[in-house]
Structure 1
Amino acid sequence: MSECQHCGCRAQLFLCQSCTSDLRDMLRGLVEGQELPSGHRGASWLQYLTDAALGQTRLGVSVRHSTDYTTPLPFNKTASDLLNEAHAMLARWVEIVNRNAETLAILGKDQP
Protein backbone atom coordinates (compact mmCIF):
# COMPACT_ATOMS: atom_id res chain seq x y z
CA MET A 1 0.00 0.00 0.00
CA SER A 2 1.12 3.52 -0.72
CA GLU A 3 -0.12 7.00 0.10
CA CYS A 4 -2.59 8.96 -2.05
CA GLN A 5 -0.75 11.75 -3.87
CA HIS A 6 -3.71 14.10 -3.32
CA CYS A 7 -5.10 13.56 0.18
CA GLY A 8 -2.63 11.25 1.91
CA CYS A 9 -5.05 8.37 2.49
CA ARG A 10 -4.13 4.76 1.79
CA ALA A 11 -3.95 3.92 -1.91
CA GLN A 12 -2.88 0.99 -4.05
CA LEU A 13 -1.36 3.17 -6.75
CA PHE A 14 -1.26 6.97 -6.85
CA LEU A 15 -4.78 7.92 -5.74
CA CYS A 16 -7.18 6.54 -3.15
CA GLN A 17 -10.62 5.31 -4.19
CA SER A 18 -12.33 8.60 -3.28
CA CYS A 19 -9.84 10.78 -5.19
CA THR A 20 -10.00 8.40 -8.16
CA SER A 21 -13.80 8.80 -8.27
CA ASP A 22 -13.51 12.59 -8.01
CA LEU A 23 -10.96 12.70 -10.83
CA ARG A 24 -13.09 10.41 -13.01
CA ASP A 25 -16.15 12.64 -12.45
CA MET A 26 -14.18 15.80 -13.29
CA LEU A 27 -12.75 14.29 -16.48
CA ARG A 28 -16.17 12.98 -17.46
CA GLY A 29 -17.55 16.50 -16.92
CA LEU A 30 -14.93 17.89 -19.30
CA VAL A 31 -15.84 15.47 -22.06
CA GLU A 32 -19.44 14.35 -21.48
CA GLY A 33 -20.85 17.11 -19.26
CA GLN A 34 -21.72 17.23 -15.58
CA GLU A 35 -24.55 15.08 -14.31
CA LEU A 36 -27.62 17.18 -13.52
CA PRO A 37 -30.04 16.53 -10.63
CA SER A 38 -32.52 15.18 -13.21
CA GLY A 39 -30.06 12.41 -14.11
CA HIS A 40 -29.30 13.90 -17.53
CA ARG A 41 -25.93 15.36 -18.48
CA GLY A 42 -25.37 18.99 -19.39
CA ALA A 43 -23.11 20.11 -22.22
CA SER A 44 -19.44 19.38 -21.64
CA TRP A 45 -17.00 22.08 -20.57
CA LEU A 46 -14.91 21.33 -23.67
CA GLN A 47 -18.00 21.87 -25.85
CA TYR A 48 -18.69 25.23 -24.19
CA LEU A 49 -15.04 26.18 -24.70
CA THR A 50 -15.15 25.09 -28.36
CA ASP A 51 -18.28 27.18 -28.92
CA ALA A 52 -16.58 30.22 -27.38
CA ALA A 53 -13.31 29.67 -29.27
CA LEU A 54 -15.00 29.33 -32.65
CA GLY A 55 -17.44 32.16 -32.03
CA GLN A 56 -20.48 29.89 -32.29
CA THR A 57 -21.97 31.42 -29.15
CA ARG A 58 -22.81 35.08 -28.75
CA LEU A 59 -21.48 36.29 -25.42
CA GLY A 60 -21.80 39.55 -23.52
CA VAL A 61 -22.73 42.79 -25.29
CA SER A 62 -23.08 41.24 -28.75
CA VAL A 63 -26.00 39.09 -27.66
CA ARG A 64 -27.90 42.13 -26.36
CA HIS A 65 -27.09 44.72 -29.03
CA SER A 66 -26.45 42.88 -32.26
CA THR A 67 -29.43 42.29 -34.50
CA ASP A 68 -27.40 41.51 -37.61
CA TYR A 69 -27.12 37.74 -37.72
CA THR A 70 -25.39 37.73 -41.10
CA THR A 71 -22.11 39.07 -39.72
CA PRO A 72 -19.60 36.48 -38.56
CA LEU A 73 -19.20 35.97 -34.86
CA PRO A 74 -15.88 37.10 -33.40
CA PHE A 75 -13.05 34.61 -32.90
CA ASN A 76 -11.97 34.27 -29.26
CA LYS A 77 -8.20 33.75 -29.13
CA THR A 78 -8.11 33.27 -25.35
CA ALA A 79 -10.72 30.50 -25.48
CA SER A 80 -8.93 28.95 -28.45
CA ASP A 81 -5.59 28.92 -26.61
CA LEU A 82 -7.22 27.40 -23.52
CA LEU A 83 -8.91 24.74 -25.65
CA ASN A 84 -5.58 23.85 -27.28
CA GLU A 85 -3.93 23.57 -23.84
CA ALA A 86 -6.74 21.33 -22.56
CA HIS A 87 -6.46 19.03 -25.57
CA ALA A 88 -2.67 18.87 -25.27
CA MET A 89 -2.84 18.06 -21.54
CA LEU A 90 -5.49 15.37 -22.00
CA ALA A 91 -3.50 13.81 -24.86
CA ARG A 92 -0.39 13.80 -22.67
CA TRP A 93 -2.27 12.13 -19.81
CA VAL A 94 -3.58 9.44 -22.17
CA GLU A 95 -0.07 8.84 -23.47
CA ILE A 96 1.35 8.57 -19.94
CA VAL A 97 -1.41 6.27 -18.69
CA ASN A 98 -1.12 4.01 -21.74
CA ARG A 99 2.67 3.76 -21.48
CA ASN A 100 2.57 3.53 -17.69
CA ALA A 101 6.15 4.81 -17.68
CA GLU A 102 5.94 7.93 -15.55
CA THR A 103 3.72 9.70 -13.05
CA LEU A 104 1.39 12.56 -13.82
CA ALA A 105 2.72 15.92 -12.70
CA ILE A 106 1.48 19.47 -13.01
CA LEU A 107 4.18 21.47 -14.75
CA GLY A 108 5.27 24.45 -12.71
CA LYS A 109 3.78 23.08 -9.50
CA ASP A 110 5.40 19.65 -9.18
CA GLN A 111 8.40 20.33 -11.40
CA PRO A 112 10.89 23.21 -11.42
Structure 2
Amino acid sequence: MSASRTALRVGLVTAAAAAASALACPANATVPAAAASGTVHTMERGVSGCIAWSYSYGYAYSANVYYHNRCKAAHYLKLDLRGRRDKCFKVAGHKKSKVYVAPVPIVLPSTQPTIRSVKQVTHC
Protein backbone atom coordinates (compact mmCIF):
# COMPACT_ATOMS: atom_id res chain seq x y z
CA MET A 1 0.00 0.00 0.00
CA SER A 2 1.34 3.41 -0.87
CA ALA A 3 2.23 6.03 1.74
CA SER A 4 -0.56 8.37 0.62
CA ARG A 5 -3.20 5.62 0.89
CA THR A 6 -1.88 4.66 4.33
CA ALA A 7 -2.02 8.29 5.48
CA LEU A 8 -5.57 8.60 4.13
CA ARG A 9 -6.63 5.42 5.93
CA VAL A 10 -5.04 6.58 9.22
CA GLY A 11 -6.72 9.99 8.80
CA LEU A 12 -10.13 8.36 8.30
CA VAL A 13 -9.69 6.11 11.32
CA THR A 14 -8.57 9.07 13.46
CA ALA A 15 -11.54 11.17 12.29
CA ALA A 16 -13.95 8.31 12.98
CA ALA A 17 -12.51 7.81 16.47
CA ALA A 18 -12.82 11.53 17.23
CA ALA A 19 -16.42 11.59 16.04
CA ALA A 20 -17.29 8.53 18.14
CA SER A 21 -15.72 9.99 21.26
CA ALA A 22 -17.57 13.27 20.73
CA LEU A 23 -20.87 11.36 20.59
CA ALA A 24 -20.03 9.20 23.61
CA CYS A 25 -18.84 12.08 25.81
CA PRO A 26 -21.05 15.17 26.05
CA ALA A 27 -19.32 18.55 26.30
CA ASN A 28 -20.37 19.13 29.92
CA ALA A 29 -19.14 15.72 31.18
CA THR A 30 -16.22 15.56 33.58
CA VAL A 31 -13.25 13.44 32.62
CA PRO A 32 -10.78 11.98 35.19
CA ALA A 33 -7.46 13.81 35.26
CA ALA A 34 -5.50 10.75 34.13
CA ALA A 35 -7.72 10.34 31.07
CA ALA A 36 -7.65 14.05 30.28
CA SER A 37 -3.87 14.24 30.48
CA GLY A 38 -3.47 11.16 28.30
CA THR A 39 -1.69 9.21 31.05
CA VAL A 40 -1.50 5.53 30.24
CA HIS A 41 -0.68 3.06 32.98
CA THR A 42 1.65 0.37 31.77
CA MET A 43 1.25 -3.29 32.55
CA GLU A 44 3.55 -4.53 35.30
CA ARG A 45 4.59 -8.18 34.93
CA GLY A 46 6.92 -10.48 36.76
CA VAL A 47 7.75 -13.91 38.09
CA SER A 48 8.50 -14.68 41.72
CA GLY A 49 9.51 -18.29 42.27
CA CYS A 50 6.70 -20.42 40.82
CA ILE A 51 4.18 -17.60 40.56
CA ALA A 52 3.82 -15.41 37.49
CA TRP A 53 1.88 -12.19 38.08
CA SER A 54 0.71 -9.05 36.31
CA TYR A 55 -1.33 -5.95 37.03
CA SER A 56 -2.25 -2.64 35.52
CA TYR A 57 -3.75 0.30 37.38
CA GLY A 58 -7.26 1.47 36.70
CA TYR A 59 -9.19 4.45 38.00
CA ALA A 60 -7.65 6.03 41.15
CA TYR A 61 -4.92 3.36 41.20
CA SER A 62 -7.21 0.42 41.83
CA ALA A 63 -5.88 -2.77 40.25
CA ASN A 64 -6.64 -6.38 39.45
CA VAL A 65 -3.61 -8.55 40.14
CA TYR A 66 -3.61 -11.66 37.95
CA TYR A 67 -1.49 -14.58 39.11
CA HIS A 68 -0.64 -18.11 37.99
CA ASN A 69 1.09 -20.75 40.10
CA ARG A 70 3.10 -22.68 37.52
CA CYS A 71 4.25 -25.39 39.95
CA LYS A 72 2.49 -28.48 41.30
CA ALA A 73 2.78 -27.50 44.99
CA ALA A 74 0.86 -24.68 46.67
CA HIS A 75 2.71 -21.43 47.41
CA TYR A 76 1.97 -18.13 49.16
CA LEU A 77 1.72 -14.82 47.33
CA LYS A 78 2.23 -11.51 49.16
CA LEU A 79 1.13 -8.10 47.85
CA ASP A 80 3.02 -5.28 49.57
CA LEU A 81 0.47 -2.44 49.57
CA ARG A 82 1.05 1.24 50.23
CA GLY A 83 -0.94 2.81 53.06
CA ARG A 84 -2.53 -0.37 54.45
CA ARG A 85 -2.01 -3.99 55.49
CA ASP A 86 -0.41 -6.32 52.99
CA LYS A 87 -2.48 -9.04 51.32
CA CYS A 88 -1.10 -12.54 51.63
CA PHE A 89 -2.84 -15.70 50.46
CA LYS A 90 -2.20 -19.30 49.47
CA VAL A 91 -2.29 -20.22 45.78
CA ALA A 92 -2.96 -23.85 44.94
CA GLY A 93 -0.76 -25.65 42.43
CA HIS A 94 -1.42 -24.85 38.75
CA LYS A 95 -4.07 -22.27 39.69
CA LYS A 96 -4.81 -19.06 37.78
CA SER A 97 -6.90 -16.33 39.34
CA LYS A 98 -7.04 -12.64 40.22
CA VAL A 99 -7.47 -10.43 43.27
CA TYR A 100 -8.83 -6.87 43.35
CA VAL A 101 -6.81 -4.17 45.09
CA ALA A 102 -8.92 -1.17 46.04
CA PRO A 103 -7.57 2.38 45.76
CA VAL A 104 -5.52 3.85 48.59
CA PRO A 105 -7.64 5.53 51.30
CA ILE A 106 -8.48 9.16 50.62
CA VAL A 107 -6.00 10.38 53.27
CA LEU A 108 -3.08 9.57 50.96
CA PRO A 109 -2.59 11.25 47.57
CA SER A 110 -4.16 9.20 44.79
CA THR A 111 -1.35 10.08 42.39
CA GLN A 112 0.93 7.33 43.68
CA PRO A 113 0.73 3.57 43.03
CA THR A 114 -1.06 1.31 45.47
CA ILE A 115 1.10 -1.80 44.97
CA ARG A 116 4.73 -1.67 46.07
CA SER A 117 5.69 -5.26 45.26
CA VAL A 118 4.36 -8.74 44.48
CA LYS A 119 6.37 -11.71 45.64
CA GLN A 120 6.21 -15.37 46.57
CA VAL A 121 6.86 -16.01 50.28
CA THR A 122 7.27 -19.15 52.39
CA HIS A 123 4.38 -18.30 54.76
CA CYS A 124 1.90 -15.54 55.58
* TM interval, short-chain normalised: under 0.3
| TM-score where L is the length of structure 2 | 0.25
Select the structure of larger CA radius of gyration: 2
| TM-score where L is the length of structure 1 | 0.26
Flag the structure with higher helix content: 1
